[in-house]
Structure 1
Amino acid sequence: MKITAIEAIPFAIPYKKPLRFASGEVHAAEHVLVRAHTDDGLVGIAEAPPRPFTYGETQESIIAVIHKVFAPEIVGLSALDREDVQARMGRTVGNPAAKSAVDMALWDLLGKSVDLPVTRLLGGYAERMAVSHMVGFAPPREMVAEAERVRDEYGITTFKVKVGRTPFSLDVEACHALREALGADVELYVDGNRGWTASESARALHAMRELDLTLAEELCPSDDVLGRRWLVERSAIPFVADESATRPGEVTRELLSGAANAISIKTARTGFTASQRVLFQSEGLGVETVMGNQIDGQIGTMCTVAFGAAYPSTSRRAGELSNFLDMSDDLLTEPLEITGGTLPVREGAGLGIAIDPDKLAHYRQDT
């Protein structure tokens, strides 16, 4: 199981429509396919989605740090040396998506080496996860139409509504329209991507107090320390730390400071190894977790399902697993399918997925 090479391959797949939220917008999935090779012929795969407006990474920076920094440190180790790999990558500041993709590719290798699904190696709790769908910025009528289509076509009944616009009345109107159209049986929660101040957040939540929102995520900036604490103390809705809790230490800081009382876990930024640490920390501190989405493609979505379904606490809530529906295509030989509002884990070895070579040749950006 000696690691012989780490590849970082850029690819770009257009979205059917731009995805818009408070911190920016994306028009194409300009991601990086990471492949880890071993001396016995196994290949582990994962996906790194750059989010420059959130974490500072770009497609080019992910490729550079993997090829120039991580690969020279990792090649020659065993794929079983996960903690050594973590320590060596940890010497480099930042680069969460690049580190996570390398980590998950190694877990895929481990599953393939013992002919078991990664989700069973992690915990093996559930066979599928309920799906939450993200509704991005648009006029209220269009947001309602999208939610109704997704509900009717895929059976999804949990929706994460992007908010954070100024004036906040735009988002309040949209959330009211969604609740009125979808009814009381559908779960709604909001994500501000740090777009409001604490006072704007408080006023917006007051204006939406009758909508039975279940969560509020990152409504104001993470460095607004006193404002976030003030807001959380006054809200009956659990506040989810997402971009503000990208490492285990940040999770502890956000929870103990009173700036949040729930945690979003994204395998795209903490892989499987660090995501375990975040999960167990959260469980130990008695807070809920949500499986989030970094606008992943189908590869990244399957990573989220594999991790989320592995544990009782991460499979309790619907995971954010449907962003790939907005992509015009993907790289997998067998595309993911959401049915009855759920997405199953794959039974094959590792992540249970394979790359279509023709699609990769078509969408890759380095040839």
Structure 2
Amino acid sequence: MKIHRIDVWQKDLPIQGPAYKMALQTLTALDTTLVRITTECGQEGWGEVCPLGPAYQPQHAAGARAAIGEVAPHLLGENPLHIERINSRMHQALCGSLYAKSAIDMACWDLAGKAYNARVCDLLGGAINTEIPSYYAIGLSSPEEASAVAIKKQTEGFQRLQLKVGGRALEEDIACIHKVAEVLQSGTALAVDANRGLNVSDAMQLSAACRDIRFIFEQPCQTYEQGLHLRKNCHHPIWLDEVIEDVNCLLRAIRDNAADGFGMKQSRVGGISQMRTVREICAVAGLPITCDDSWGGDLVAAACIHLGATVQPSLFAGSWIAAPYIQGHDDPQHPIKISNGRLKVPETHGLGVIPDTRLLASPVITFTL
């Protein structure tokens, strides 16, 4: 089996309803990149990468397509089932840009599942359950608005909520946390996520002002070093997210006892292959994780579900997907949807999602052997 063709599409993902607000940016639409790998015998594998805007991290959509353009010619003629070699070839062709490479990696896993008549989760060791928990992120909003959303989402079955803070008056963040805490039902977990939007002093004061409220404090500060300093002066468990950019960063954080858990984005660390390693490391360390991505359509959502389904339930905090915030599906026949706060593991081979090319424009780049 050889890679004969690689097609790359650009697609806009408009956000339905109000803009999605975080500490450092406000978004009304996302730019996603879809990749299709086709072999000489016509088998296909699909991947996707969708950075959360150009100011979330040093990753952006146009950069993803440019990076894919650099590595794709080096993959023509290679066996897509030899995923380790594919990743090695990509690293030889281009330094860094793990997020862009994740789309190729995802497409190879999808193709491998179809070739071996197995789901991606089966190739990763097997799904522990047929469905997994999801969670809902409440964007930056007033205490009253956040409280109303928290009530609504709990009635929809979500048992974990993430509340965005940062980028505004500290008093409003504190009031928002207290207001949401008032409506939390028994069994609902809360994560307070600053997306690096707080300095150490403000993060310390927020934690102290909410010391009687049970929540995890996710990525409060801009840098890894600030997080280490805060950890010594914080009343809540700290999870790291944006600063864990690869497996080496994860190993460093575990060595330094820098976190009580990790919000993991598969594209940020390089794809499904690297997330498999993350899963094993965190299992040995006994540290919980989420299996998420920054944004994306059905392909990204499916990858998150397959990964999450293979994590020990006691160490799994859920998979966030963008479906509640965007309109439409790449695969109308097998859409990825949340039901009662949970995500069903796809049953068909590969990722279980095949984008309908009739819903896409012409590829923006094509490489052919």
Q: Same fold (TM over 0.5)?
A: yes
Return closer, same or farther for 1:360/1:301 CA change in 2, 3 Å cut-off: same
Preserved contact between residue 118 and residue 349 of structure 2 (Cα < 8 Å) = yes
Which structure 2 residues correspond to residues 277-296 of structure 1 after superposition, within 5 A?
Answer: 277-296=277-296
Look up the SS of the partner of 1:7 in the other structure. strand
Look up the SS of the partner of 2:163 in the other structure. strand
Q: C-alpha offsets along residues 196-235 of structure 1, whole Å, 9 cap, x if unaligned? A: 111211110111112211x211100125x1x322321333
Residue 150 (structure 1) aligns with:
153
Residue 129 (structure 2) aligns with:
126
Residue 50 (structure 1) aligns with:
51
- Out of 343-352 and 183-192, give the one that drifted further: 183-192
Residue 273 of structure 1 and its aligned partner are, at CA, apart by 0.5
Preserved contact between residue 232 and residue 258 of structure 1 (Cα < 8 Å) = no
Q: Aligned pair count? A: 359
Percent of matched pairs sharing the same residue: 26
Residue 73 (structure 1) aligns with:
74
Residue 298 (structure 2) aligns with:
298
RMSD: 2.0
Which structure 2 residues correspond to residues 67-106 of structure 1 after superposition, within 5 A?
Answer: 67=69, 69-91=70-92, 92-106=94-108
Preserved contact between residue 131 and residue 343 of structure 2 (Cα < 8 Å) = yes
Residue 256 (structure 1) aligns with:
255
Which structure 2 residues correspond to residues 222-261 of structure 1 after superposition, within 5 A?
Answer: 222-223=223-224, 225=225, 227-261=226-260
TM-score for the superposition, normalised by structure 1: 0.92
Q: C-alpha offsets along residues 230-286 of structure 1, whole Å, 9 cap, x if unaligned? A: 321333533212111121111112222343232222223231101111222222333
Of the three residues 186, 209, 214, the one matched with 2:188 is: 186
- Taking the aligned partners of 2:135 and 2:9, their CA distance within structure 1 comes to 29
Structure 2: gaps spanning 5 or more residues: none
- Taking the aligned partners of 1:317 and 1:21, their CA distance within structure 2 comes to 21
Residue 59 of structure 1 and its aligned partner are, at CA, apart by 2.0
Residue 212 (structure 1) aligns with:
214
Letter paired with 1:74 = L
- Out of 53-62 and 171-180, give the one that drifted further: 53-62
Letter paired with 1:21 = M
Q: C-alpha offsets along residues 283-306 of structure 1, whole Å, 9 cap, x if unaligned? A: 233322222331232221111001
- Out of 253-262 and 134-143, give the one that drifted further: 253-262
- Out of 141-150 and 266-275, give the one that drifted further: 141-150
Which structure 2 residues correspond to residues 320-339 of structure 1 after superposition, within 5 A?
Answer: 320-321=320-321, 323-333=322-332, 334-339=334-339
- Taking the aligned partners of 2:109 and 2:251, their CA distance within structure 1 comes to 26
Letter paired with 2:232 = E
Return closer, same or farther for 1:280/1:109 CA change in 2, 3 Å cut-off: same
Preserved contact between residue 46 and residue 299 of structure 1 (Cα < 8 Å) = yes
- Taking the aligned partners of 1:22 and 1:301, their CA distance within structure 2 comes to 24
